[in-house]
Amino acid sequence: MFGVRVHEWHLGAAGLAAAALTGVLGAATVVVALLVGVSLWLIAKDWRDLLPATRDTAAWARGIHRPPGLQTPRGDAVPAVAALATAAVGLLNLASAMTPELPGRLRALVSLASMQEIELAQALAVPAGVALLGVSWHLWRRRHGALVAALALLALLAGLDLLKGLDVEEAAITLALAVGLWRSRAGFRVRHDGPRPRSAIVRAGAVLAATVAAASLTAALAGSVPALGVLSGGAIVALAAWAFAAPAIADGCTDRERAARAVRSHGDDTLSAFKLRADLHRRWSQDGLAFAAYKIEAGTLILAGDPVGPTASASALLDDLAADARRHGLLFGVCGAGAATAGTAHDRGLHRLYMGDEAIVAAGPMDLSGGSRKSLRKAVNRVARNGYTAELAEVSRLEPATLAALERVSARWRDGAPERGFSMTHDTVADELLPDAMVVLARDRDGVVRGFLHFVPIFGRPAVSLGFMRRERDTPNGVIDFLVVEAARLLGERAVEEFSLNFAAFGRWLRDPANIIERALARVLIAGDRWFQVERLLRFTQKFEPRWQPRYLLFEKPTALPRTALASMWAEGQLPKPSLPRPQRRAVLAG
């Protein structure tokens, strides 16, 4: 206006001034309060434009303005409200079907329909109400198929309400909900692949056959038509749970060779090579230049670190992945994102939580003199006095017997526990796609391998990243310290300048908390060190005087943080997953 860009907060400020003026002039309190409320809302929704650093960075919306890109789709809260309303209407219809009808209405109805038709309508209302309850959960998860089923069930129930007892009130509420669902249909955007015809026939036939048998027996013993309805409702719920299950997404685990070529071209991040793990799925950008590795856990598509590829392609891939996750009813997050990706994602509306720091250690001979290195010096000398030596070798040049020894050391170290890892470790010592991976071996005085460090290359710069750290449990105390010191020396001789040693979870909170909240969180971490060994790992790492590189957990919105964090911990193996038997999901995105 007149060459000046007008923001909503300008209107809000003008509204507050007008409210003050009308208050002075003696306007009604209600008018002043209404004007103040509207003005404060305009200022709150446009708060980004109040600050020069964030001005003109958000897209307009009816609610709070957010940056473009990973916007929360319009109507995102509709499915939750619709699901609760559908469940309530389902319960209302169940209660209506299982309670006696009003005598006056029933007498009027008998003149229009036979008693057998009325009883049949009562029996059918029970499974229809139960089915509506089952469908409500899938409405919460934004399933489009559940919306179609809910509309059909609501139409059926409205007719049954009238036929079983002239229940006009229940019919009106049921139809009103159907209209509301239809008007908000854009919020139910999660599509899913239909089952294969043969599988559909087999599953549906099995469920229905079991139901008919159980229902016939129940009806014969109890002589109750509602009993038939209850059992039929159970069958419908079982079929709905299967029919609206999370979508199966095409497998992307078998493109490791293509991913390895991209890692060699663009894998300059310390975590890039770990995206070649065989247990990860991969999604490619539309131009085919960037890819991301991920798993689906706890209803969340969780990425393993940053995408690999050119910056523009990787940024576009984040947008595509977030959009695909929403289309499939999943949350979206990134575990172990670097600072650059965290900044890019923040501009697109993702939130970030500090996870901890990677420890980057300089290669070359370590100076073990001085008081600060006393414990490290004693550990290294103790192991050397026990006759241990270290050697560096490329994995591709190791003899089969040596590889078998490494596997044996790993198995003894795990002691029956499964291999863990997701974003910051590799899944195998000998990977044909990483022939230039290296190991630093610790041999005892008899030449037997008793421990090792495994390093994967970081392409584009003279650095490597730790993939495994293993030792046998009966080795002298300090073998790992000895291996790290020797690895620094031996890698330096190979012109390697630095190596990523390990990850210290929430290390900054323990090392140098910035405020009272971080100090309180540090106390919690120290109390939990008995189970998670967070403080002990930090103390071990600090002995090598590393530089710290922060990593972040990215998530869509504050309410999504608990599930995203759970998905990250399940993927990394830090928390055990529930062991209830369940069919395996094909949880991968095409690309």
Confidence class for position 62, pLDDT limits 50, 70, 90: low
Task: Taking residues 457-474, report their average pLDDT.
Answer: 93
Question: What per-residue confidence (pLDDT) applies to 386?
Answer: 94
Q: How many angstroms separate the CA atoms of 270 and 345, rounded?
A: 19
Helix or strand (DSSP H, E) at 100:
none
Element (H, E) at 480: helix 479-493
Helices (H), 2-114: 8-24, 29-45, 78-97, 103-110
CB atoms within 10 A of CB 450: 22
On whether the CB atoms of residues 553 and 565 are closer than 8 A, the answer is yes
Q: How many CB atoms lie within 10 A of CB 31?
A: 12
Say whether both 304 and 272 belong to one domain: yes
Whether residue 15 sits in one domain with residue 118: no
What stretches of 342-459 adopt beta strand conformation (E)? Answer: 351-362, 389-394, 438-443, 449-458
For 466, list phi and psi in degrees, rounded to 5: -70, 125
> What are the Cα distances from residue 339, in Å, to 267, 406, 483?
16, 35, 30
If asked whether residues 221 and 308 sit together in one domain, one would say: no
377 pLDDT tier (thresholds 50, 70, 90): very high
**pLDDT above 90 covers what percent of the chain?**
41
166 vs 121: CA distance, rounded Å? 11
Residues 450 and 467 in one domain: yes
| Assigned domain for 346 exists | no
Per-residue CA distances from 3 to 6, 122, 360 (Å): 9, 69, 52
> d(Cα 181, Cα 151) in Å, to the nearest integer?
7
**What is the C-alpha radius of gyration for the chain, rounded to an integer number of angstroms?**
31
Residue 348 lies in a domain: no
pLDDT for the residue 116: 75
* Residues 91 and 12 both lie in one domain: no
Q: Are residues 42 and 145 in the same domain?
A: no
Asked if 48 and 114 sit in the same domain, the reply is no
Whether residue 346 is predicted with pLDDT greater than 50 in this model: the reply is yes
| pLDDT confidence bin for 585, thresholds 50/70/90 | very low
Kindly state the average pLDDT of the residues 348-361.
92
Angle between helix axes 78-97 and 115-140 (nearest 10 degrees) is 160
Pair (544, 573) in one structural domain: no
Task: With a cut of 90, say whether residue 414 has pLDDT above it.
Answer: no
Output the pLDDT for position 360.
96
Q: In which residue are the tokens 């036929």 written?
A: 163
* 15 and 118 co-located in one domain: no
Residues 148 and 203 grouped into a single domain: yes
Q: Is residue 66 in a domain?
A: no
Q: Are 179 and 203 in contact (CB under 8 A)?
A: no
Give pLDDT, residue 68: 60
Q: One-letter amino acid identity for 255?
A: D
Structural domain includes residue 445? yes
pLDDT tops 70 at residue 146? yes
Contact (Cβ atoms closer than 8 angstroms) between residue 492 and residue 365: yes
**Mean pLDDT, range 501-516, rounded to an integer:** 90
- State the Cα–Cα distance between residues 409 and 166, nearest whole angstrom: 76
Q: How does pLDDT run across 106-140, given as a tens digit for each residue?
A: 777 766 777 777 777 777 888 888 888 888 888 88
Number of domains in the chain: 4
Q: Six-digit token pair at 44?
A: 């709150």
Tell me which of 209, 243, 277 is where a domain ends: 243
| Helix 168-183 / helix 78-97 crossing angle, nearest 10 deg | 160
**CB-CB contact of 450 with 479 (8 Å):** yes
CB contact at 8 A, 48 and 55 = yes
Average pLDDT, stretch 474-494? 95
Structure tokens at 373: 């290195």
Q: How many helices and strands (H and E) does the chain possess?
A: 20, 11
Instruction: Name the residue range of residue 157's domain.
Output: 78-243
* Res 409: pLDDT: 94
What's the one-letter identity of residue 314? A
> How far is Cα 85 from Cα 104, in angstroms, rounded to an integer?
30
- Please tell me what DSSP assigns to residue 574: S
- 562 neighbors 575 (Cβ within 8 angstroms): no
> Looking at the domain assignment, is residue 248 inside a domain?
no
Lowest-pLDDT choice from 24-33, 225-234, 356-365: 225-234
Whether 544 has a pLDDT exceeding 90, the answer reads yes
Residue 197's pLDDT band, with cuts at 50, 70 and 90, is very low
Per-residue pLDDT for 150 more than 60?
Answer: yes
Q: Does some domain include residue 331?
A: yes
Q: Does residue 498 contact residue 360 with C-beta atoms inside 8 Å?
A: yes
Tell which residue, 37, 18, 231, has the closest CA to residue 131.
Answer: 231
Mean pLDDT of 405-412: 93
Q: Which of 123-132, 453-462, 552-561 has the lowest mean pLDDT?
A: 123-132
Asked whether residue 62 is assigned to any structural domain, the reply reads no
Alpha-carbon distances of 365 from 248, 368, 386, 511, rounded to whole Å = 52, 9, 21, 26
> Taking all residues of the chain, what is their mean pLDDT, rounded to a whole number?
82
- In this prediction, residue 204 carries a pLDDT of 46
**Overall average pLDDT of the 395-404 stretch:** 93
Q: How confident is the model at residue 589 (pLDDT cuts 50, 70, 90)?
A: low
Q: Is residue 574 assigned to a domain?
A: yes
pLDDT tens profile 202-242: 544 554 455 445 444 444 544 454 555 555 555 555 555 55
Same domain for 324 and 410? no
pLDDT given for residue 569 in this prediction? 92
Based on the fold, state whether residues 16 and 110 are members of the same structural domain: no
d(CA 501, CA 492): 14
Q: Using the predicted structure, report yes or no on whether residue 459 has a pLDDT greater than 90.
A: yes
Joined together, the tokens standing for residue 290 give 């960037």
Give the CATH number of the domain where residue 463 resides: 3.40.630.30
